[in-house]
Structure 1
Amino acid sequence: MTDELRMDVHRVYNCNQMDYDINHPKLDKMLPCNEDRFDSGVDSLKDEEYKSIVEHMESMNMAATERTTGKDIDDEPWKKEATEDGDTFLHLAIIHEATEETIQMIHQSHGDLFLNIQNNQRQTALHLAVIMEQPQLVERLLKAGCDPRLVDDSGNTALHIACKKGSLSCFGVLTQVCPIHLSSILAAPNYSGHNCLHLACIYGFLSLVESLLSLGADINAQEQCNGRTALHLAVDLQNPELVRLLVTKGANINSLTYGGYSPYHLTFGRQNVEIQQQLYALTAQELRDLPESESEDSDWEVQSEDDQMYDDIRVVGHK
Structure 2
Amino acid sequence: MDAQRMSHRSPTDYSYGVAEAKQGKMLPSHEDRFDSGLDSLKEDELVAELEDMSVSASEDAEQDYEPWRAAATEDGDTFLHLAIIHEATDHALQMIKLSHGHPFLNAQNNQRQTALHLAVITEQPQLVDRLLKAGADPRLADNSGNTALHVACKRGSLACFGVITQNCQRHLASIVSFPNYSGHNCLHLASINGYVSLVENLVRLGADIDAQEQCSGRTSLHLAVDLQNPTLVHCLLSLGADVNCSNYGGFTPYHLTYGRQNEEIHRQLYEQTAQELRELPDSESDESDMEDVNLSEDELYDDIKFGK
- In the superposition, the TM-score normalised over structure 1's length comes to 0.76
Match of residue 145, structure 1, among 135, 151, 167? 135
Match of residue 84, structure 1, among 70, 74, 89? 74
- Matches of 1:175 and 1:207 in 2, distance apart? 14
Q: Percent identity?
A: 67
Q: Deviations over 1:88-126 (max 9, x none)?
A: 000000000000000000011000000000000100000
Describe how 1:130-209 pairs up with structure 2 within 5 A. Answer: 130-209=120-199
- Matches of 1:192 and 1:148 in 2, distance apart? 19
Match of residue 264, structure 2, among 265, 274, 277? 274
Code of the aligned partner of 1:196:
C
Per-residue deviation, 1:65: 7.7
The structure with the largest helix share of the pair is 1
C-alpha RMSD over aligned residues: 2.9
Aligned to 2:84: 94
1:284 aligns with 2:274: yes
Is the 1:21–1:37 Cα contact (8 Å) retained in structure 2? Answer: no
1:43 aligns with 2:43: no
- Matches of 2:247 and 2:15 in 1, distance apart? 36
- Matches of 1:291 and 1:191 in 2, distance apart? 30
Q: Does the C-alpha gap of structure 1 residues 251 and 103 become closer, same or farther in structure 2, counting only changes over 3 Å? A: same
- Matches of 2:145 and 2:207 in 1, distance apart? 18
Aligned to 1:313: none
Aligned to 1:257: 247
Match of residue 226, structure 1, among 216, 222, 232? 216
- Matches of 2:49 and 2:17 in 1, distance apart? 31
Q: Deviations over 1:120-171 (max 9, x none)?
A: 0100000000001000000000000000000000000000000011111100
- Matches of 1:55 and 1:129 in 2, distance apart? 22
Per-residue deviation, 1:281: 1.1
Number of aligned pairs? 266
**Which runs of 5 or more structure 2 residues have no equivalent in the other structure?**
1-5, 19-28, 287-308
Stretch of structure 1 that moved more, 137-146 or 276-285: 276-285
Is the 1:42–1:83 Cα contact (8 Å) retained in structure 2? Answer: no
Per-residue deviation, 1:38: 1.6
Code of the aligned partner of 2:235:
L
Larger Rg: 1
Per-residue deviation, 1:19: 3.7
Aligned to 1:248: 238
